[in-house]
A and B are shown apart, each in its own frame.
Chain A
Amino acid sequence: MNHIALKMLMGDKGKYLGIVMGLTFASLIMTQQPAIFIGLMARSYSFISDVGLPDIWVMDPKVQFIDDIKPMQETELYRVRGITGVEWAMPLYKGLLKARLTDGAFQTCNVVGLDDTTLIGGPAVMLEGKLSDLRRSDAVIIDIDGASEKLAKPAATPDGKKTPLKVGDSLELNDRRAIVVGLAKVTRTFQSQPVIYTTYSRAKSYAPVERKMLSFVLVKAKPGQDKAELVKRIVAITGLEAYTQDDFKKLTYSYFLKNTGIPINFGITIALGFIVGTAIAGQTFYNFTLENLRQFGVLKAMGASNSTLLRMILLQAVVVGSIGYGLGVGIAALFGFLMRHSILAFKMPWQLLVFSGGGVGLICVMVALISIMKVIRLEPAIVFKS
């Protein structure tokens, strides 16, 4: 009976397309919106991913997420270095500083100071210059987006183009000269400020003088050292807080999950996609079943059992569901692909595909159930009604 069910389904092209489109829409929304959501949430910790190398981040216990800087005394660095199981520990400065551009305008920048000798935590992708160029005097490396947007020189004419900041250009940080020696690609974060990389000691000289300057201690565990144990040891000995890289990411995005409206907004969109998709697909599928009710009645009169008809309807639902799901996910993926160079955040992990697949599956089951109930209650005697 399967081929009969499929032919019935595709016999009415208009309805068939309507059902598939409803499901495509639902799975598109349920895939694309969470993908943007996940992409956005991943941005909250992309600085941690970019720094990459360290196993453990050590910080003031009050820190709630990566951009929540609570400076520590520099002596903490040496205390951490003394703990057994630590292969190396490096300082990291991270802070918002005002840069003065050549035209006199000010721009707040995210300044990152790296350990002077090792430069650990520097940008992974250099577009121009080398990371080691930071060792030259007054040297800074700037992220490409900042260099071509917020730090760019204003256009000479009102509707002319801005001139991007180039290697060799200079700017001022806290009245001190900074010379651009490289341009780097930095993963976008929630913070829209340009990122300026420099050495730890130079970053300190750019920053207003304070008693505490150390933002994070980056720690590499000795080979074979259990990281969770090392975290515990660091916390116990220093009284500071320490997280593995993954835990620090979790801490950061949970902060944004809890403290922003982002999840609710996306949740509403996803729920709407589910509801609208269910409504469209449900309506068209139900209509389709109603219109075919006489055909189901004929099959029933001829001795087809309820379970046979149930299987036919389920098959029809599974087919439209799979096609709609495939199209929806395909369009979402295409969308993500086309937007890959844009500012838009987009991430489609397999868990998301399971999620939206489950959503579409649920829609199909609900939609099919309504139709199945109608068909099961159907009296075969209707076949003689004209």
Chain B
Amino acid sequence: MNATPLAIRCRDIVKTYDTGGQVVTALNGVNLDINMGELMMLVGPSGCGKTTLISIIAGILDQTSGDCELFGENLLTLRSKDKLRFRAENIGFVFQAYNLLPALNAAENVSVPLIINGVKRGEAERRAAQMLEKVGLGERTMSLPAQLSGGQQQRVAIARALIHSPRLIVCDEPTSALDHESGQNVMNLLKAVALDQQRVLVIVTHDARIFNFADRIAEMDDGHIVNVAHSAAELK
């Protein structure tokens, strides 16, 4: 890779879903560049294609046409084994519904990406406990998700997204299930702990209360990016 700080490069991304004869165009020519060290928010009305776009960026969904490069790799052309390894090493996920494994305690949940990357269990859980410390849950390493509040669960999820030091973190509506204060805490945490020059954050949201955390905000509508703003005030 050369010195360009470009992390994500999307060109003319089209994605259509074929739902039993009826074809839905979720993305209709998306162009977007995101730089290293940037916190990019994707906003727009429900159904405009935000989730579809981050799924393609994160390599868990294949676009119908167009090119998407992540850290210089075109995930579409990678062999499935290499794609899995690429995802395992480079991407952290944060979901609206947390998606923690309910049978695993906080430390075990956080250790999962390390385990997938072949780290031994003991070592993985030790590092997971340290990461939980960083997100302010050092006391709750043994707690099951059901024993934690929504905000705490999302912090466990963030620890899990960070544990293997990925270069991209994608978050889909990370604060939508949380009250205002927990949402602000989660965003503060993401900005303080997650974001640095070696990493890029893409956050899908329609939660206007967190827009001010963004470096840039890409507005989407009907499968297009209609505007890229540098602050909430610039939004259309």
- A308–B101 Cα distance when bound, in Å, is 16
- Does B103 contact A3, Cβ atoms closer than 8 Å? no
- A299–B81 Cα distance when bound, in Å, is 15
- Does B103 contact A294, Cβ atoms closer than 8 Å? no
- Does B104 contact A7, Cβ atoms closer than 8 Å? yes
- Does A4 contact B104, Cβ atoms closer than 8 Å? yes
B32 at the interface (CB under 8 A from A): no
Q: What is the distance, in angstroms, from B178's C-beta to the closest C-beta of chain A?
A: 14
Chain B residues, CB < 8 A from A298: 93, 95, 99, 101
- A10–B85 Cα distance when bound, in Å, is 29
Interface flags for A370-386 (1: CB within 8 Å of B; 0: not) read 00000000011101111
B102 at the interface (CB under 8 A from A): yes
> Which of A1, A303, A384 sits near B95, CB closer than 8 Å?
A384
Interface flags for B83-94 (1: CB within 8 Å of A; 0: not) read 011111101010
Q: Which residue of B lies closest to A385 (CB)?
A: B51
> Which of B55, B87, B103 sits near A8, CB closer than 8 Å?
B103
In this complex, the member of B54, B101, B112 whose beta carbon has the largest number of chain A beta carbons within 10 angstroms is B101
Chain B residues, CB < 8 A from A8: 101, 103-104
In this complex, the member of B58, B96, B116 whose beta carbon has the largest number of chain A beta carbons within 10 angstroms is B116
Number of A-B contacts (CB under 8 A): 80
Chain B residues, CB < 8 A from A10: 103
Q: What is the distance, in angstroms, from A178's C-beta to the closest C-beta of chain B?
A: 73
Chain B residues, CB < 8 A from A294: 99
Given contacts A298-B101, A303-B89, contact A7 B61 (CB under 8 A): no
Given contacts A295-B101, A380-B60, A384-B51, contact A301 B112 (CB under 8 A): no
Chain A 7-30 interface residues, beta-carbon cutoff 8 Å to B: 7-8, 10-12
- Does A4 contact B88, Cβ atoms closer than 8 Å? no
B126 at the interface (CB under 8 A from A): no
- A305–B55 Cα distance when bound, in Å, is 18
- Does B116 contact A386, Cβ atoms closer than 8 Å? no
- Does A381 contact B99, Cβ atoms closer than 8 Å? no
B121 at the interface (CB under 8 A from A): yes
Q: What is the distance, in angstroms, from A207's C-beta to the closest C-beta of chain B?
A: 75
Q: What is the distance, in angstroms, from A110's C-beta to the closest C-beta of chain B?
A: 63
Q: What is the distance, in angstroms, from A20's C-beta to the closest C-beta of chain B?
A: 16
- A385–B87 Cα distance when bound, in Å, is 19
Report, nearest first, the 3 A-B pairs whose CB atoms are least far apart: A11-B103, A303-B88, A380-B60
Contact residues of B with A, CB < 8 Å?
A: 51, 54-55, 58, 60-61, 81, 84-89, 91, 93, 95-97, 99, 101-104, 108, 112-113, 115-117, 121, 172-173
Known: A383-B95, A386-B96. 16 other contacts (CB 8 A): A1-B115, A4-B108, A7-B101, A7-B103, A11-B102, A12-B103, A294-B99, A295-B99, A300-B60, A303-B88, A303-B113, A304-B88, A381-B61, A384-B51, A384-B55, A386-B173
